[in-house]
Amino acid sequence: MSSSNTPAADVDESEAVDSADPVIVVLTPDTASASERRERALAERAEKRQTILSRKRQLAKNRQAFGVTLMKIKNYQGAVLCFADACTLWKANPVCHCDLATAYLHLGRFPEAEVAASAALALDPKLVEARYTRAIARRGQGLLRAAIVDLETVLELDPANEAAKTALHDLNAALAVPESAAPESTLADYTAPVPTAPPLEMDDEGSDTSDANHTGSGVPCLFYNHGGCARSKDCKFSHATDEKSVRDDIGKNVCLYLLLDACKFGDKCIYSHDRSYLPTNTKAAWWEDEARVAEMRERIDKVKEEAKEKREEREKSRAAAKEKKGKRAEGGDVEGESSKDKKRKNKNKNRRGPGHVRGGSMGSFGGGGEFGGAPQFSPQHMVFPMGLGLGLPWNGGFVSPAPFAGGGGGFAALSQYDVGELAAQGVKPWDEDAQDVLAALR
């Protein structure tokens, strides 16, 4: 079956694209006022934070539920890991901290259990289960009086708690024995936080986005703090706040020195110089109070002065070490004696007067000759067998008499063997009877 070709089928695809109408993009200017733009940016940022917060809380609930399952099968170590993750994801949830304390309790890790239970009580002072768990953890550490105070508080909140009644009865009986009693402390320290105390305010909805946790190389990102960074988490620089910046409500890091009117970089500063989105009417907004600004200036000046002093001390120590190292490299001692001075000093010390040879006196041969005195020792001087170091120059196996006799007379040329024979008889080569002794030996 043949198919007929229509004119539309013969049209090339590229021609069809070229013949299409061009796409026109119209850019309309943003006519919103500054306040409207600010409100819009804050709303976008709040929506982003809420999305991240909801996702993290759901993850925390999942980890907590899995930890409870592990507790039922007595996998307490795995439960500790799950509850710890839940506490990290949802810091302001007292139940997560209480579950973590219970898991620690089953492992016998009483100090960690007490810390986790105290964290739960700080978030909710009326949480009975957390206070009971802390009492048992204190009992495990031998803090009996502290445990009794917690159990009494539990019964004040829940008079029908049978477990607390039984534990309190046992502790009172144990405390009656003097050696079992723990050191006393104040009642307030044991009770804290009291049930009537307000819960700890924790900003669990603060800036905890990926940008706030992205530290990169530690160097602040110029683009992020100004127009915005397109690399996001792949950026090599830091998007997080540091000690020289304050994070605003849209996630930018505002220059600390700008708030102190002391930034010397102006528009070239690596931090944001826009005050528009800074939080207002909060305890953390110290830049709104002139007294606190002045106090902050004094603190920063003090820190800078201390840093300057430490830097100067390091430079002095480095310079002294460098100077000491240079003197040692030149061969001198620490007091400044150079290698040339030491060589000259040693040369004068080792130089002897006429008639002196290393190892003994020259006797009647004198100190004349081309050396003007006894020759100095050098690696070329012969050290003869039998331990007799004469300091005489080695010259092909014979001792040259020229340096000692002034070129005339003295003793005949001696071989190494002859010198050894004379030494065996206690005779020196320059003695007057040396030749007679050799003749007698031969």
CATH number of the domain at 156, please.
1.25.40.10
| 316 and 185 belong to one structural domain | no
Residue 100: pLDDT band (50, 70, 90) is: very high
State how far the Cα of 85 lies from the Cα of 63, in Å rounded to an integer. 7
Residue 219 has pLDDT above 50, yes or no: yes
pLDDT category at 368 given cuts 50, 70, 90 is very low
Residues 318 and 380 occupy one common structural domain: no
Per cent of the chain over pLDDT 90 is 16
| Closest listed residue to residue 62, CA positions, set 96, 39, 29, 34 | 96
Query: Comparing 16-25, 59-68, 399-408, which segment has the lowest mean pLDDT?
Result: 399-408
Indicate if 178 and 58 belong to the same structural domain. yes
Using left for φ > 0, alpha for ψ between -120 and 50, and beta otherwise, residue 409 falls in left
State how far the alpha carbon of 115 is from the alpha carbons of 60, 64, 120, in Å.
Answer: 20, 18, 9
State whether 358 and 346 are in the same domain.
no
Between 135 and 339, the more confident residue is 135
Q: Is 206 helix (H, G, I), strand (E, B) or coil?
A: coil
Residue 373 sits in which domain range?
Answer: 352-441
Same domain, 346 and 357: no
Spatial CA neighbour of 135 closest among 123, 146, 126: 146
Q: Please tell me the distance from the alpha carbon of residue 376 to that of residue 7, in angstroms, as a whole number.
A: 116
Are 362 and 280 found together in one domain? no
In a domain, 197, yes or no: no
Please indicate, yes or no, if residue 399 is contained in any of the structural domains. Answer: yes
- pLDDT category at 405 given cuts 50, 70, 90 is very low
pLDDT over 60 (residue 7): no
Residue 227, token pair as written in the block: 């127009």
Q: Mapping DSSP to helix (H, G, I), strand (E, B) and coil, where does residue 196 land? A: coil
Q: Quick check: is 300 in a domain?
A: no
What's the pTM value of the predicted model, to 2 decimals? 0.48
Banded pLDDT at 196 (limits 50, 70, 90) = low
For residues 368 and 425, membership in a common domain is answered with yes
Q: What is the pLDDT of residue 32?
A: 67
Better-predicted residue by pLDDT, 238 or 16? 238
Dihedral angle over CA of 323, 324, 328, 332, nearest 10: 90
Answer whether residue 25 is part of any domain: no
Same domain, 159 and 243: no
Residues 98, 130 contacting (CB under 8 angstroms)? yes
Is residue 245 exposed (0-12), middle (13-18) or buried (19+ Cβ within 10 Å)?
A: buried
Please say which residue of 164, 191, 218 terminates a domain.
191
Asked whether residue 2 is domain-assigned, the answer is no
pLDDT value of residue 341: 62
Do residues 280 and 364 both lie within one domain?
A: no
Maximum C-alpha span of the chain: 141
* 143 located within any domain: yes
Residue keyed to tokens 């100067």: 312
Given 317, 335, 350, the domain boundary residue is 350
Q: Which residue has the higher pLDDT, 26 or 314?
A: 314
- Confidence check: pLDDT of 255 > 80: yes
- Which residue among 191, 219, 249 closes a domain? 191
Number of domains in the chain: 4
Residues 114 and 166 in one domain: yes
The answer to the question of residue 22 being in a domain is no
Query: Domain check: are 215 and 234 in the same one?
Result: yes
Query: Within 10 Å of residue 425's Cβ, how many Cβ atoms?
Result: 11
Q: Which comes out higher in pLDDT, residue 373 or 244?
A: 244
Is 35 contained in some domain? no
Instruction: Check whether residue 345 and residue 362 sit in a common domain.
Output: no
